[in-house]
Amino acid sequence: MPIVAQSTETTDWVSRFADEVIEESERRAPGKPVVVASGLSPSGPIHLGNLREVMTPHLVADEIRRRGHRVRHLISWDDYDRYRKVPAGVEGVDETWAEHIGKPLTSVPAPKGSPYPTWAEHFKAAMAESLAELGVEFDGISQTEQYTSGAYREQILHAIRHRGDIDAILGQYRTRKAPAKQQQKAVDEAELEAAEGSGAAAEDDGSTGSAGYFPYKPYCGNCEKDLTTVTSYDDDSTELTYACTACGFCETVRLGEFNRGKLVWKVDWPMRWAYEGVIFEPSGVDHSSPGSSFQVGGQIVGIFGGKQPIGPMYAFVGISGMAKMSSSRGGVPTPADALKIMEPQLLRWLYARRRPNQSFKVAFDQEIQRLYDEWDRLDAKVTEGTALPGDIAAHSRAVGTASGALPMTPRPLPYRTLASVADITGGHTDQALRILSDFDPAHPLASLDEARPRYDKAEAWITLHVPADQRTIVRTEPDEMLLKSLDEQGRQSLRLLLDGLADHWSLDGLTHHVYGVPKVQAGFPADATPKELPAEIKAAQRSFFALLYHLMVGRDTGPRLPTLLLAVGQERVRLLLGD
């Protein structure tokens, strides 16, 4: 099978794939645009695992476009697939939607309250909006439109004429014992659902009845469901008779004029490879095991006069913080969920920096702060010219496309700082601006817009994903009992902090000052490095920090102390610390 080799070297995987795709395109279709493809089923919320189906060819297509080649990235909306089940956790959907199982997704009503006419359009629109924010350019193809317009008529008739050949290929795998699955470790059922794919890989490969093997399923002319069986077919006239097991309806049609049905998945996919001339298309684990649709399609595509695309198998995308989310909302997060709490550059980077066969996690918990720190360090290294070539390439693919740079935050302050400010201020933007302006007094923010959209993403993360019992509530009155119980060392540490507060009132200044107080108390300079200090100093710092947290927020921990002090303000800090 023509799977692109995946090196273990930490080089730019996108460039290597682009080299192979350009070479293969020039061999197969010289002078024509390079065609890469993705397939998405709008059977429910399209989650972050499905996004890899798009981002992998997008990044390769964008690299090809940067090199001056014409390229088309097709996204095939599999909206003519059957409605398989009612997904969990979809707002505006109840058990009555089960009556639509078996219908095309474009014949199922949208969830209640949706502005879109059908189930498929509802979920396609959400994904298309996210892809636009991510800078993904694509040509969308509705399979409902393709099938119902008769675009595939010749391909359908060709498949039926060669149904014996198709049946023989599929028969090679029907009696084989499936190998044991190597299940990747997942956090919970919702993550396992994310690894499943659209479900198309599990569909049957055609029916065998009184008409023999048949790779085509009519949708019933009465109930619209695909619970039909072909009872007879005449190759010369293309006259087809089917019966519906759902409602009992029977009908005889001429397939040469009939547009209400589709090829079964394992025939449909390779047919489209040949029809569109696809050169590159990745496949998920559900499509890539022995005997599955990608492997079988590699043989069936020859019946249509085409060749199998080259492309990697892509690995699982997990979610950090998934257990909490899935229990509250059902199902797994979508790209739109991720884009509420992170800028598109960060989300693009997560997919660009890992080879497709490497799994990774998208963070919805505290890990998002570490990811942003890592991203900001990389951004600084790229600016300084000290980043490694592979990291520079991933960064370049994250911040923009061949069409230009993605919109960015003018003043990208640390995400964890913005989250702390949003947490402490509770949505009061005037207070947030006051605090953020104190971070760098030499260059204060003129408007909160300078910190947007990153500030808005951090605020959304605090609001949507930090439990109420972990939110920061600043005390309104000093803890008199705790202040009175302090020994001389505790009172001295507070006095040292308060005496230098005004002179160090900036993010960097307070960072230096807060960490310096225990050093000075122990007789060391405030700027002494860890190597110059005994181990006891770290213990003293932890005790001092815990004291400050208790006095200001009534807990052992909280936001970084310099941020917290700036947020609370000098006057209130002095009140709470007993000045």
Beta strands in 71-131 (DSSP E): 71-77
The Cα–Cα gap between 391 and 400 comes to 15
The Cα–Cα gap between 433 and 431 comes to 5
User: Strand pairing of 261-263 and 216-218?
Assistant: antiparallel
On the CB side of 248, how many CA atoms lie within 13 Å of its CA? 0
Closest CA to 74 of 48, 35, 17: 35
**pLDDT at residue number 209:** 64
Phi-psi region of 113 (alpha: psi -120 to 50; beta: other; left: phi over 0): left
**pLDDT at residue number 38:** 96
What Å distances lie between residue 286 and 179, 191, 315, 519, CA to CA? 13, 14, 10, 57
Kindly give, in sequence order, each residue whose CB lies less than 8 Å from that of residue 516, ignoring residues fewer than 6 positions away.
526, 527
Regions of the chain short of the pLDDT cut 50: 1-10, 180-201, 324-329
Quote the pTM value: 0.88
Percentages (nearest 5) of helix, strand, coil residues in the chain: 50, 10, 40
Place of tokens 């909206």: 79
**pLDDT at residue number 287:** 66
User: 91-125, pLDDT tens digit by residue?
Assistant: 889 899 999 999 999 999 999 999 999 999 999 99
The Cα–Cα gap between 2 and 277 comes to 15
**pLDDT at residue number 187:** 42
